[in-house]
Amino acid sequence: MGRRKKEAVPEEVKKPKKRGRAKKEIPESAPKRKYQRQKKGFNEIPSPEIIPINQAVSNLTSDPEMYFLPMAQDEIYLINPYACGVSSWLPKAKLSRRNCPFFSVELVLEGKGELTVNGNTYDLEPKDVFLLHFDEDHVYQNTGSGRWKKVWISFRHSLLTPGLNQLGLDMISKISLKDQDFEQIRRLFFDVLDEIRDRNKDFRINASATCYKIFHLLARYAKVISSQRANVVPAQVQAVVSYVEKHLREPISMDDLANVAGCCRVHLTRLFKKHMGIHTRDWLIQLRMRHACMMLKTTNLPVHLIAEEVGFDDPYHFSTAFRRTVGQPPTKYRKMAKSDALDDEL
C-alpha cells in the first residue's frame, strides 16, 4: 500500500508557528508594579510611596513601610540618605547580599536576629544598632520565634565614607545601646523617616542633620569599642599597624606585612579579620585613603604628590582606588570638601 497523501489545508485554517515563549497577557485593570528588581538594590521612586517589603525583598517579611528619595541634583549634602523604613520580619526570614552597593544603619526594635559579616557572627536584639558597610558581603536573619522589627536608613557613597572613617565607625558592625541612649536614637531614626516621607521645606537638610546626630552618638560607642579592641589585639597585628603608619609612603606588599608580623599571609589575614573585622589588604587601602582625604582637605598639594605621600607610584592607580573607596574622584572630593569648609566659615 502506498503512503496516504495529506489533505491540503485551506490557508485561512493554517495557524502561524509560534517562536519562543508565549507572552503572558496582563489585564489592563491589573495594578502596575511600583518597583523594579535589579542586581543591586531597587530603582528610585520619585514619590515617597509605601511599599510592602514582602514584595520587594522576601515573602517572609510583613507590615513594613519603605521610602525612597531621588538623589539631590547638586549633591551638596555630606550625609545624604536615599532610603529609609521600618520592616517586620517573620521567623526564619533571611537576606544575603554580596558587594553591598550602599551603607545602612539599622536599629532593632523587637525580636531577635543575627548578622554574619567577615566571618564574624553577631546576635541582634532590641537596642542593638548594626551597620552594613559598602562593598561587604553579609547575611542577616530573624533567629527568634516571633517577629523581628527594625528601623533603618540607607546612604550612597558621596562623602560619607571618610566621615565614617573619622568617626571610627568604618570598622564597626554592631553597637549595643544603653537604655538612656536607645530612646533618643530611636526618636532620631523616626525623625528622619518623617522628613523623607513628608518632604516638607528643607527636608533634605533636616534629614542630613538628624543623621549626623545619630552618627555622632554612635561614634562615642565606637571609641570605646576601638579601645577595647586595642587591649586585646595580638602583638602581631599591633606590629603591622605600627609599621604601616611609619612607612605609609612606601609600597607595601602582603608579604612585607607577613614578615613584619612573623607569620604567614593566611594567618595574618585571619588575625586581622578576627580582631580588626577586615581583610589586611582592605585595611591598608582604607588607611591610605583616610590619609589622602585629610591631605586633600587641608593642603593644596597636587593629586599626584598626594598619591606618592600615601604610597602610590601611579596617579591613575591612586585615583581608581580612591574612587572605589570614597565613591568619587580625588579632585571632586577636594572641591566639595573645601566648598563645605568655606560655607562653615561664612
- 288 touches 330 (CB < 8 A): no
- What does the radius of gyration of the chain's CA atoms come to, in whole angstroms? 26
Model pTM? 0.57
Residues 242 and 91: their CA atoms lie apart, in Å, by: 45
Dump the DSSP string for 229-271.
HHHHS-HHHHHHHHHHHHSTTS---HHHHHHHHTS-HHHHHHH
Provide the grid cell at 58: 522576601
* Structural domains of the chain, with CATH: 53-230 (2.60.120.280), 233-345 (1.10.10.60)
Residues 150 and 148: their CA atoms lie apart, in Å, by: 7
Q: CA of 315: how far to CAs of 190, 305, 309, in Å?
A: 43, 8, 11
Question: pLDDT digit of tens for each residue in the chain (346 aa)?
Answer: 555 555 555 555 555 555 545 555 544 444 444 333 333 333 333 333 333 333 344 444 555 788 887 766 555 667 888 899 999 999 989 999 887 888 999 999 999 999 998 667 899 999 999 999 887 889 999 999 999 999 999 987 656 777 787 788 887 899 999 998 999 999 999 999 999 999 998 898 899 999 999 999 999 998 887 766 666 778 889 899 899 989 999 989 999 999 999 988 888 988 888 777 788 998 999 899 888 988 888 888 999 999 999 999 999 999 999 988 887 899 988 887 766 543 333 2
